[in-house]
Amino acid sequence: MSYTSTMLEGLEYSQAHFPTVIVNDGSVGTLDQATTWISENLSSLKKELSSTGAILFRGFPVTNAESYDAFFSAFNYANFTYKESLSNAVRINHTELVFTANEAPKDVEIFLHNEMAQTPIYPSIISLFCENAAEKGGATALCRSDSVYDQLAQKEPELTDKLERLGIKYTTTMPKEDSPESGQGRSWRSTLGVKSVDQAEDKLRSLDYSWRWGEDGSLVAQTAALPAIKTLEGGRKVFFNQIVAAYQGWKGVKEDPSCALCFGDDSAFPVSFLENVVSIAKSLSFDLEWQDGDVAIVDNHLAMHGRLPYSGERKRKVLVVLGK
Ligand SMILES: [Fe+2]
């Protein structure tokens, strides 16, 4: 097809570049043409994604959950279902693949994180589709995880090395009942996909968590040591975790980080280290200002994402698909 070569001229395969933006020049008019174009250029697109960490597709004929499902499916990733995850964000399914992004209220910022890196089960790809941009604000922040690692290793060499060697343990509280008004409000039954206390404990044991039950019926669970810095194929090291989101956004963590985060040997994170992580991530962050119809595909190991607050009457609708 004639658009194949012209449309891909913008690819850089450059690790210094972020994110890649591919704008439909008008030659892809239908959803069928879009999926054909993706299939024909799949290896180039995936090579680009593994270089830069994120690609934004703008101006393609994607208008709703169904067309987004078809667009994303053309990339041939295996499906990572929200059900199989241990995420405690509240979400609603639209198609089998597609669900709403975190339903947290519009004035709540969701800080940078690698998707589900606070659990042992996470997707390798996260894709977002903007059906309706907010009137004001609501950008998705994107931040390169390898750049964060590079800068942190320079600024905090010893603690970065410690983090890489020992990993990190996360402690989270799962409420007794679903509470959609919180960014992390799924109950322990929903989060773990279980029906009873016994089943919950079996599941936690199988995942190597430790836990205690709160008096209000909530569940406080701590992971085993999980990797917080990973080495990817080819040798690139990436900061892969939820430190920024936990420290800035989880309830009570700013005041007392040890209630949610510690090194793999149970030692505490110095606040100065956490502050350095946050300021480095912030300085490297790119705000993707959505336009209706935009689709982003993000390599979950190479880039963190977050959501800025928004306002106005227009209902922001951003949908998500996870892949592996
Ligand atoms: Fe996320």
Taking only the tens place, the pLDDT of each residue in 281-307 is 999 999 999 999 999 999 999 999 999
122 and 150 in a single domain? The answer is no
211 and 270 in a single domain? The answer is yes
Structurally, the chain folds into a number of domains equal to 2
d(CA 324, CA 322): 7
Residue 42 lies in a domain: yes
Residue 155 lies in a domain: yes
Write the pLDDT tens digit of every residue in 102-113. Answer: 778 899 999 999
10 and 138 in a single domain? The answer is yes
Is the pLDDT reported for residue 11 higher than 60?
A: yes
pTM for the complete prediction?
Answer: 0.93
34 and 165 in a single domain? The answer is no
Residue 27 C-alpha from the chain's centroid: 31
115 CA distance to ligand 1 centroid (A)? 5
d(CA 53, CA 17): 9
- Give the residue among 305, 301, 304 at the shortest CA–CA distance from 236: 301
Residue 113 lies in a domain: no
200 and 77 in a single domain? The answer is no
85 and 176 in a single domain? The answer is no
10 and 136 in a single domain? The answer is yes
146 CA distance to ligand 1 centroid (A)? 18
Is the pLDDT reported for residue 225 higher than 70?
A: yes
98 and 151 in a single domain? The answer is no
Q: What CATH number does the domain containing 78 carry?
A: 3.60.130.10
Residue 110 lies in a domain: no
203 CA distance to ligand 1 centroid (A)? 23
239 and 193 in a single domain? The answer is yes
Residue 85 lies in a domain: yes
172 and 54 in a single domain? The answer is no
Residue 68 lies in a domain: yes
Structural domain containing residue 43: 3-105+118-142+288-323
225 and 296 in a single domain? The answer is no
Residue 75 lies in a domain: yes
5 CA distance to ligand 1 centroid (A)? 33
138 CA distance to ligand 1 centroid (A)? 14
6 CA distance to ligand 1 centroid (A)? 33
Write the pLDDT tens digit of every residue in 162-211. Answer: 999 999 999 999 999 887 666 567 899 989 999 999 999 999 999 999 99
191 CA distance to ligand 1 centroid (A)? 15
What percent of the chain is modeled with pLDDT above 70?
95
114 CA distance to ligand 1 centroid (A)? 7
